């Protein structure tokens, strides 16, 4: 078995996965959403302190598995430096105490492998990763051959939902609340510009849309009874249209065969429906993670680790370090 730890942002999670079968034997996650909600976003130092409390509590529950552990895996990149270090330090202590090898896992590859929890891998795959930290398209040949095709130049898709929710005073995380608010709104009420719609670049940008939404929110707040439903619906529509327009452009050169959406924001139902419609004429298959594994978790890290274990992709205990910025 492998024990895996995730602490790259605001979720403390540990999983135990059977190496031979990829079976998930244990998974526990403690989220910090309520604690960060008052600030409208994640406060790194607060997150680190909460990890330091939560991780040992979860680890205690894993004790019955200790004798069976063949390796310990941990998210070492990308993420918040002060929170990554909590997981990596714990993983190193476990590796030393139990005399087992350590595996440093890339969080973004973790999100890709959230598709394969208790399943076999399916490659090659075109992946859209939409999370709080990233918005990127990748061509994934296998665990070791991943090419990034497009990235966000500024904010990420999920982050823009968080910021819009903050403007409306709706707390953190913004994705689920904006999705809920948008359900009864008019998607065409506000004619926000689709980011980079005239640019030939296959890239993403959300800062301009965020500022346009800010102006609409300020305007709405002047009313006696402000109602943000239409703004939320129009924002969700344009944020999604930006992704589908750029993907449509990309699909002109590379036909999608198997396409996946992963990351916390892949839970968004409007995004899922729009991507489904986009893939239809290509007869491409759409893969999605189970809703409970879209957001950060340790089961996905454990699932990458079972494949890395089989490929002997271990890290050196002395050299394994955190790398806050993404290398994909």
Sites of contact with ligand KG4 (CB under 6 A)? 9, 131-133, 158-159, 161-162, 173-176, 179, 263-265, 267-268, 295-296
Mask for 159-178, x = binds Zn ion (CB under 5 A): --------------------
**Side-by-side strand order, sheet with 11-17:** 24-31, 11-17, 2-6, 71-77, 102-106
Burial class (CB in 10 A: 0-12, 13-18, 19+), 154: middle
CB of 28 to Zn ion, least distance (A): 17
Residues in the interface with Zn ion (CB under 5 A) total 2
Q: Which is nearer to ligand KG4, 157 or 309 (CB)?
A: 157
Q: Quick check: 135 and 315 in contact, CB under 8 A?
A: no
First vs last C-alpha separation in the chain: 27
Going by their DSSP bridges, the two strands 71-77 and 285-288 should be labelled as unpaired
Residue span binding Zn ion (CB under 5 A) among the ranges 43-51, 59-67, 127-135, 239-247: 127-135
Output the DSSP codes for 86-141.
Answer: HHHHHHHHHHHHHT--EEEEEHHHHHHHGGGTTS----SEEEEEE-SS-EEEEEEE
Return the number of the residue (36 or 246) whose C-beta is nearest ligand KG4: 36
Which of Zn ion, ligand KG4, none sits in contact with 175, Cβ below 5 to 8 A by type?
A: ligand KG4
Q: How far is the CB of 7 from ligand KG4 (least distance, A)?
A: 12
Torsion 148-289-111-295 (CA) sign: positive
> For Zn ion, which stretch binds (CB under 5 A), given 81-89, 126-134, 142-150, 208-216?
126-134
Subset of residues 268 to 297 that bind Zn ion, contact rule: CB under 5 A: 296
Write down the least CB distance from residue 129 to ligand KG4, Å: 8
The residue (of 175 and 195) whose beta carbon lies closer to ligand KG4 is: 175
Nearer to ligand KG4, 9 or 140 (CB): 9
Q: Find, among 140, 152, 70, 85, the residue nearest to 111 by Cα.
A: 140
28: β partners:
14
Q: Which does 179 bind (CB under 5 to 8 A by kind): ligand KG4, Zn ion, none?
A: ligand KG4
Write the CA distances from 13 to 5, 31, 43, 142, 178, integer angstroms.
6, 8, 18, 25, 26
Piece of the chain touching Zn ion by CB under 5 A; list 82-90, 128-136, 176-184, 241-249: 128-136
155 vs 230, beta carbon nearer Zn ion: 155
Tokens representing 47? 């997150």
Q: Please identify, using beta-carbon distances, which residue of 155 and 296 lies nearer to Zn ion.
A: 296
Q: Is 131 in the site for Zn ion (CB under 5 A)?
A: yes
Residue among 159 and 230 whose Cβ is closer to ligand KG4: 159
Residue whose C-alpha is closest to residue 215's, from 183, 193, 200 = 193
Q: Tell me which residue has tokens 């394994």.
A: 320
Q: How far is the CB of 231 from ligand KG4 (least distance, A)?
A: 15
CA distance 84 to 44: 10
Q: Which residues bind Zn ion (CB under 5 A)?
A: 131, 296
């Amino acid at each position: 078995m492998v024990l895996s730890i995730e602490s790259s942002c605001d979720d403390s999670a540990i999983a135990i996965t059977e190496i031979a079968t990829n079976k998930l034997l244990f998974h526990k996650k403690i989220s910090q959403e309520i604690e960060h909600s008052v600030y409208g976003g994640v406060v790194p130092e607060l997150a680190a302190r909460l990890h330091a409390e939560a991780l040992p509590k979860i680890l205690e529950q894993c004790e019955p598995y200790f004798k069976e552990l063949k390796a310990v895996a941990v998210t070492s990149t990308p993420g918040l430096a002060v929170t990554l270090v909590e997981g990596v330090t714990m993983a190193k202590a476990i590796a030393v105490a139990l005399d087992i090898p350590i595996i440093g896992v890339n969080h973004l590859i973790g999100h890709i492998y959230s598709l394969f929890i208790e399943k076999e891998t399916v490659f090659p795959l075109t992946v859209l990763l939409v999370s709080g930290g990233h918005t990127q398209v990748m061509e994934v040949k296998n665990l070791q051959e991943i090419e990034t095709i497009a990235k966000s130049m500024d904010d990420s898709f999920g982050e823009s939902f968080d910021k819009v929710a903050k403007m409306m005073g709706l707390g953190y995380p913004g994705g689920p609340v904006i999705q809920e608010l948008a359900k009864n709104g008019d998607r065409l009420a506000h004619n926000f510009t689709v980011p980079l719609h005239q640019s030939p670049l296959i890239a993403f940008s959300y800062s301009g849309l965020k500022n346009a939404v800010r102006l609409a929110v300020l305007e709405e707040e002047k009313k006696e009874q402000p109602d943000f439903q239409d703004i939320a619906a129009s924002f969700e529509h344009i944020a999604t249209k930006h992704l589908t327009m750029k993907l449509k452009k990309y699909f002109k050169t590379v036909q999608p065969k198997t396409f996946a959406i992963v990351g916390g924001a892949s839970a968004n139902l409007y995004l899922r429906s729009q991507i489904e419609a986009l893939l239809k004429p290509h007869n491409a298959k759409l893969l999605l993670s189970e809703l409970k594994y879209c957001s950060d978790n340790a089961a996905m890290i454990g699932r990458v680790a079972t494949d890395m274990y089989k490929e002997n992709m271990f890290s050196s205990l002395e050299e394994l370090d955190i790398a806050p910025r993404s290398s994909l």
